[in-house]
Amino acid sequence: MGAFLRLTEDLARAQAAEADRRLAAGDGGPLTGIPVAIKDVLCVEGVETTAGSRILAGFRPPYDATAVARLRQAGAVFVGMTNCDEFAMGSSTENSGYQLTRNPHDPGRVPGGSSGGSAAAVAAGEVVAALGTDTGGSIRQPAALCGVVGVKPTYGRVSRYGLIAFASSLDQVGPFARGVRDAAIVLQAIAGFDPKDATSADRPVDLLAELEAGVEGLRLGVPHQYVEVQGMEPGVKAAVDRALLELEGAGAELVEVSLPHTDYGLAAYYIIAPAECSSNLARYDSVRFGYRAEDADTLLDTYLRTRRQGFGPEVRRRIMLGTYALSAGYYDAYYLKAQKVRTLIADDFARAFQRCDAIVSATSPTVAFPIGSRTQDPLAMYLCDVLTLGANLAGLPGVSVPCGTSQGLPVGLQVLAPQWADAMALRVARAYEVVRGG
C-alpha cells in the first residue's frame, strides 16, 4: 500500500525486547509492546524525519516530539515513519515528495490526507495504532476514507513540541486505531500539559471514565449546512442518515442546529493556513539543515534554487498564497478578515453547543476518489475538507468513526464536541460503534 516511507527495524527490535522485559516483570501498561506508526512530520530521535518533503531529506532530529516521547515511555514499539502529503499540505497523500500511498480498500484510490500513510497502515493491519496530525481534517478525512477511527483533540490538548509545523494555530496531533477504545487509550497516553509548548493546556485528561456511558439522554446536533454541503454524494448521505437513526434508536435526541458561517470557512481556512505556512517554511533556507541546491552562484540564488527544487508544487502554491495574503496592502483585506470569520465560526459552534452535547455529520462528503482524479484541480481537492476544517478553526475535538459503505468503500461519521470535551466526542463515537456491533 506504500504506507511507510521508512521502517525503523532496529529501534523496533530494541523496543520489543524492552517491552518483553517490562511485561515479564509485571510492569507493562496498555500500550506496552503495541506496534505503532509515526507520521513523518513528528520528530523521532535519530530517525530520518522529512515531512514528506525532499527539502528535509536526510534530516535526523536530535530529540523526540513530546507525543512520540510519551508513546516511547508507554512501551509502544515504533514500526516506522508513514507517508504524508508534503508538510501535511493535501487531502490525498498524492503530494508526498517520495511515493504514492494507496487505499487498502481499493488500491486504485487515494487513502485521503494528509495523514494517509498512517490511516492506510492501520486499515491494512500493519500496525495497531498510528499518530497523525490534523490541520484542516488530516486525521479525520483519511480515517473516513480508509474505514478506521481517527481523533483530532482539542487544540492544546496534545503538545505540538517536535511537530514540523504547517499552520501553528491549527495543527494538532492525534491517533488512528481500528476502534474507538484503542484510539482513546493512545490519546490518553500522549495528551497533557507540556511546558515545551506554549499552547499546551494544563488541564486534567480522563478520556476513558465515561467511554461506555452511551448516548441515552444526550442531544446530538445535526447542522443542515453540513447535510447540504457542496459535493455531498448520495451514498455518503444515506450512510450517515442511517447512522443518525441508529444513534436515535440508542436513546439520543437529534436536534437541528445551525452553523451559518460554514460557507465562509473554506475561504478563511485557505487564507489563514497558507499565511502561517509561508511564515513557518521561511526557515528552510539551505543554510542550517536540509537540502541545498548545488548549482547556485550567489547566496540569493542558493535560496531560490533550493526552495524551488526542494518544495513540491502544492507547497510552493501555498507559500505564495500566504505570502500574498500577509503582504503590505493586503493584510487587512485578506488575513485580518479571515481571522474575523474564524471568530464568527467559533461563535457559531458555541451557540450550537448551547442546544446540544455534540454535533454529528459526515466526515467527508465523498468516499475515496481515484488516484489522479483531482490533482489538476486544487479547488476540488480543497473541498475534501469542507466538513472538517471548521473544528480546526474553532479548536474543537472531533472523531471520525466508520459508519457503513457507499460504492463498496468506507464512509465516516464525524462527532464534534465543545472545547475540552474530547471525552464526549469519544463517548458518542463509541456508542455508535456499539450500536453497529463493534
Output the pLDDT for position 144. 98
> Residue 275 — pLDDT band, cuts 50, 70, 90?
very high
Q: Which amino acid is at 167?
A: A
User: 193-246, pLDDT tens digit by residue?
Assistant: 999 999 999 999 999 999 999 999 999 999 999 998 989 999 999 999 999 999
Q: Within a 10 A sphere around the Cβ of 224, how many other Cβ atoms?
A: 12
What pLDDT score was predicted for residue 238? 98
The pLDDT tens digits for 5-54 are: 999 999 999 999 999 999 999 999 999 999 999 999 999 999 999 999 99
The pLDDT, as a whole number, for residue 80 is 98
Cβ atoms of residues 267 and 385 within 8 Å: no
Model confidence, pTM: 0.97
Tell me whether residue 333 is exposed, middle or buried, using C-beta atoms within 10 angstroms of its C-beta: 0 to 12, 13 to 18, 19 or more.
Answer: exposed
Q: What is the pLDDT of residues 80-130, one digit of tens each?
A: 999 999 999 999 999 999 999 999 999 999 999 999 999 999 999 999 999
- Taking 90 as the threshold, does the pLDDT of residue 294 lie above it? no
pLDDT above 80 (res 263): yes
Mean pLDDT of the chain: 96
CA 119/CA 105 separation, integer angstroms: 12
Task: Return the pLDDT at 230.
Answer: 87
Domain layout of the chain by residue ranges:
4-260+345-435
Residues 342-376 have pLDDT tens digits of 999 999 999 999 999 999 999 999 999 999 999 98
Catalytic residues: 39, 114, 138
Number of H helices, E strands in the chain: 14, 11
Question: Under CATH, what is the fold of the domain 4-260+345-435?
Answer: Amidase signature (AS) enzymes (3.90.1300)
Please report where in the chains the cell 518544495 appears, as a residue. 311
Q: What pLDDT, on the 0 to 100 scale, is given for residue 53? A: 98
What length is written for the chain?
438
